[in-house]
Amino acid sequence: MILNPKQIVLARNMRGLSQGELSKRLGHANQSTLSNVEKEKLPFTEELANQLAEVLCIPIAFFSKEKSFTRLSKFYYRKRNAFPASELVPLESKMEIIRSGYEELLNSVDINIKKLPAIPVKGNNSPEAIANSFRLFLGLNDDPIDNLVTMVEKLGITVLFLDVNSDKFSGLTLQTDINAPLIVLNKNMPNDHKKFTIAHELGHLIMHIPFAEDPEFYEDLEDLDAVEQQADSFAGAFLMPKKKAQYTFANLTYSRLTELKLYWKVSKQAIIYRAKEIGAINANKFKFLFIELSRFGERKKENIEIAIDMPVLFKRIISVYENELKYSRKAISEDILGISEQDFNIWFDFNERPRLRVVLD
């Protein structure tokens, strides 16, 4: 077995462990030894790989994977600057494991990936105009979008609802080497937040990611916050087209926000921001409505929850492996993704509840 020492760093980062902490858990190995193995100054032995697998609860196959950690693009996910390193490093490592594992899954399963338009924010191409163009591309009218997840997955973009224990993480876009995008969302967010984040990530996929390697891409940006603001503007315009939004936002009051939320199927906060953006309310009304949201305890979680359609593409890919390619769940987890079956079930919500049978006397 050829072992890849770079995978040690990825594994311990995923578990949130420093070199020193991992060395202590290994018992006999000191930090200097582990450091030299990671730097390829000492050989990575199968004996050490077995010890690491046991301590980190990772299959030994993980350490033979050739893929190495690739840092995520700076603007692929929101609120990055708010993360402490203790949360950021494990999250980024987990995302890299998911990204490379998803790539491997697609080696044996074909999905129809539609080519999205690539339009930079330049000249007349504002986020609003680009969002309108994308709605035309999809053949949408100005009505609210009911099944956004289904629509996105029909484009060949896999959506994952991942159990992330931090309210600082909303979502991100993972790009694979085979140009198969993967949008990962925090499943613990309210559904209206999930929906806006998906639209936000679509903005990145159209306006930013295609140009990420182009040095000129950054010329017109004062900072990377501008990229996030553009994606937010795209999301608002995509979910609430201007003409119809202006009509429905007429005489906007706090009491009407619930009705509008149920109509547009977005958060009250998104409605308020969009109303200000298109001139339906002024700065004073904007401020007042947010004060009201706070007064009624709706800033973090709004009183009314909207429904959202569930992603199915990833589970269908797994189903092909299990039912047609005859892989066990353990083999998919360990041999392809390089994680334990327990991690697989937790990360991807594959823990199925047992079906109860009612017995009648």
* Residue 114: per-residue pLDDT: 94
- pLDDT band, residue 300 (cuts 50/70/90): confident
Asked if residue 108 has pLDDT above 90, the reply is yes
* Residue 357: per-residue pLDDT: 38
Tell me the average pLDDT across 296-304.
Answer: 92
> Which residue bears the tokens 């994680």?
339
Q: Do domains 1-69 and 127-295 have the same CATH topology?
A: no
Domain extents in the chain? 1-69, 127-295, 313-347
**Triad 179, 151, 230: Cα angle to 5°:** 70
Tell me the average pLDDT across 115-131.
Answer: 95
* Residue 72: per-residue pLDDT: 53
User: Of 20-24, 42-46, 175-179, 329-333, which range is least confident?
Assistant: 175-179
The tokens describing 75, both together, are 């603007």
Mean residue pLDDT of the chain comes to 89
Give the closest residue to 135 by CA, choosing from 123, 148, 124, 122. Answer: 148
User: Of 212-221, 275-284, 291-300, which range is least confident?
Assistant: 212-221
Asked if residue 361 has pLDDT above 50, the reply is no
Contacts of 26 (CB under 8 A, 6+ apart): 34, 51, 52, 55
Residue 130 CA to chain centroid, in angstroms?
Answer: 22
- pLDDT band, residue 166 (cuts 50/70/90): confident
- Longest CA pairwise span in the chain (Å): 76
* Residue 4: per-residue pLDDT: 94
* Residue 79: per-residue pLDDT: 53
* Residue 354: per-residue pLDDT: 37
Does domain 1-69 fall into CATH 3.30.1230.10? no
Span 326-354, pLDDT tens digits: 999 999 999 999 999 999 998 887 754 43
Contact 344, 333 (CB under 8 A): yes
Tell me the average pLDDT across 51-56.
Answer: 96
Whole-model pTM: value is 0.90
> Which DSSP state fits 1?
-
Beta-carbon count within 10 A of 60 CB:
17
Contact 260, 272 (CB under 8 A): no
Span 254-283, pLDDT tens digits: 999 999 999 999 999 999 999 999 999 999
- pLDDT band, residue 84 (cuts 50/70/90): confident
Q: Residue 14 and residue 167: Cα distance in Å, rounded?
A: 18
Tell me the average pLDDT across 17-31.
Answer: 87
Give the closest residue to 192 by CA, choosing from 261, 263, 259, 266. Answer: 266
The tokens describing 353, both together, are 């509840």
For 91, 102, 103, 258, the CA distances from 336, given in Å and listed in that order, are 20, 9, 9, 45
User: Of 85-89, 135-139, 168-172, which range is least confident?
Assistant: 85-89
The tokens describing 241, both together, are 């087209």
Q: Which fold has domain 127-295?
A: Arc Repressor Mutant, subunit A (1.10.10)
